[in-house]
Amino acid sequence: MPESLLVETVDDVLTITWNDPGRLNGLTGEMVIAATEAVENAVASTRVIVFAGNGRAFSTGARLDEAIEGTEPMDRANALIRAIVASPVPVVAAVNGPAAGFGCSVALAADITIAAQSAYFLLPFTNIGLMPDGGTTAVVAASIGRARATAMAMLGERLPAGDAAQAGLIYRAVADDEFSAEVDRVVRQLSTGAAVALRATKQAIAAATLDRLDYALDLERDLQVALFDTEDFTEGTTAFVHKRAPRFTGR
């Protein structure tokens, strides 16, 4: 288990915490694989799974200093999203701060997403010559509709937590000083609820709203892998590293 991921079970609640606050919980492949294994290998007595982030961010997404090539990065990312959606127990995302890129994908794949008022959600992929992934092309559209999902994905603009809640993208945005208490309240209610009924409810809602998620994940993978080889992606990442505006050429 990498030090940048904390996995703890207390009172039948499994908490998976991104733990690299110095990098705003940027995600490595090792962290994503370990998180997937934690979800998939949760013991039978687990009643709730919680994703959280240490420090001032939930997660700013995949780290760009790791090699990005081929299908492997996409396959391991998709495996985590599939594990969250397929988990038989409720998954809660406790979004304490920015949730961007694949970090946003994880937050929105959860069954119930609670955010601090100061948090925001961001799909910045097109800003570096890529497209949204992690199932967000399906999840965001299922939550807030095609028009707003397209704008969020194409414009790459921050969506404040309050606006995300008002749009129906997340369950609730709460004042920062009430955030921990609200997360605890929801987790406690779920962990003491009727587990069999909650399992059935999750399964039915996922079937009704995310029936095309597997297709979306596979399509995102194929399209994203092709984008890895474009000049625009090279320019986008170079511009990001040097903190300048990218000059895209469409190649």
For the segment 135-179, what is each residue's pLDDT rounded down to a tens digit?
999 999 999 999 999 999 999 999 999 999 999 999 999 999 999
Q: Which two tokens stand for residue 239?
A: 């511009």
pLDDT number for residue 240: 87
Query: Given a cut of 90, is residue 11 above it in pLDDT?
Result: yes
Q: What share of the chain is helix, strand, coil (3-state, %, to 5)?
A: 50, 15, 35
For the segment 61-97, what is each residue's pLDDT rounded down to a tens digit?
998 776 667 788 899 999 999 999 999 999 999 999 9
Q: What mean pLDDT comes out for the span 91-104?
A: 98
pLDDT number for residue 2: 86
pTM of the model: 0.95
User: Which domains are delineated in the chain?
Assistant: 1-176+195-251 (3.90.226.10)
pLDDT number for residue 241: 86
Residues 194-220 as b or e (16 or more Cβ within 10 Å = b): ebeebeeebeeeeeeebeebeebbeeb
How wide is the angle at C-alpha 244 spanned by C-alphas 241 and 247, nearest 5°?
105
Q: What is the mean pLDDT of the chain?
A: 95
Residue with structure tokens 């992934």? 133
